[in-house]
Chain A
Amino acid sequence: QVQLQESGPGLVKPSQTLSLTCTVSGGSISSGGYYWSWIRQHPGKGLEWIGYIYYSGSTYYNPSLKSRVTISVDTSKNQFSLKLSSVTAADTAVYYCARSTVTRLYPWGQGTLVTVSS
């Protein structure tokens, strides 16, 4: 079965770029029909969709983050990545990667906490 695992720095300085990678195992990221998504959850808060990259390479981002977000894919490593620029303390959150179709957002990675602090 497909599993996802996030990785990246747990601490990022303000104004810098947050970079996370999601490694997919048990299935190919190039297989058709899936949206490879990033979602975040601020401490004690609800879930916020960040964006996704379609298997074809097209992307779509949350309009509220669009100017700062880039999602890319490396099919040779079966990974997709998130870059969020010009971070502030408001970007401190647990970041999840997940696979989806239009009917099911599943599976999810275990999540990784990123703290923005100097």
Chain B
Amino acid sequence: QSVLTQPPSASGTPGQRVTISCSGSSSNIGSNTVNWYQQLPGTAPKLLIYSNNQRPSGVPDRFSGSKSGTSASLAISGLQSEDEADYYCAAWADSLNGFWVFGGGTKLTVL
């Protein structure tokens, strides 16, 4: 199973606000920042959020991220049909060397 815990599914209607949670531990989310990715079928994950709440250029401000302690959240406001995708959280995990850990992914359905 994945190191970070996400709900397997989420849903919302167009225009709604949806949040996806990501739970970790003191060695990953608790001590490092979180990335969020959107993955459409057959494509590579696309970076939506980095450093907990920063959006790369080109990502709409409908997407926002937050972190508190060992948990993080991705919020999508003004839900659109094209937001239907899989969403993954990721964080650097501290160890002797450090490495990336991922959530199991959340399938977002736009009803």
Q: Which of B44, B99, B103 contacts A108 (CB 8 A)?
A: B44
Task: Give B90-111 interface residues, CB cut-off 8 Å to A.
Answer: 90, 92, 97-105
Asked if residues A100 and B100 are in contact (CB atoms below 8 Å), the reply is yes
Q: Within 8 Å of chain B (Cβ to Cβ): is A46?
A: yes
* B 5-46 to A, binary, CB cutoff 8 A, 1 in contact else 0: 000000000000000000000000000110100000001110
Chain A residues near B102 (CB, 8 Å)? 46-49
Asked if residues B97 and A60 are in contact (CB atoms below 8 Å), the reply is yes
Asked if residues A46 and B44 are in contact (CB atoms below 8 Å), the reply is no
Q: Within 8 Å of chain A (Cβ to Cβ): is B88?
A: yes
Asked if residues B44 and A110 are in contact (CB atoms below 8 Å), the reply is yes
* Nearest-CB residue, chain A, relative to B46: A108
Q: Which of A46, A52, A60, A96 contacts B103 (CB 8 A)?
A: A46
A-B contact count (CB 8 A): 55
The interface size of chain B toward A, counting residues with CB under 8 Å, comes to 23
Chain B residues near A102 (CB, 8 Å)? 32, 92, 98
* Nearest-CB residue, chain B, relative to A96: B44
Report the minimum CB–CB distance from B60 to chain A (whole Å): 17
CA distance A85 to B102 in the complex (A): 24
Chain B residues near A75 (CB, 8 Å)? none
Asked if residues A46 and B2 are in contact (CB atoms below 8 Å), the reply is yes
Report the minimum CB–CB distance from B77 to chain A (whole Å): 23
Q: Within 8 Å of chain B (Cβ to Cβ): is A103?
A: yes
Known contacts A46-B88, A52-B99, A103 near B44 by CB under 8 Å: no
Known: A39-B100, A103-B32, A103-B51. 17 other contacts (CB 8 A): A46-B88, A46-B102, A46-B104, A49-B99, A52-B99, A60-B98, A96-B45, A100-B100, A102-B32, A102-B98, A104-B50, A106-B35, A106-B50, A107-B47, A108-B44, A109-B44, A110-B43
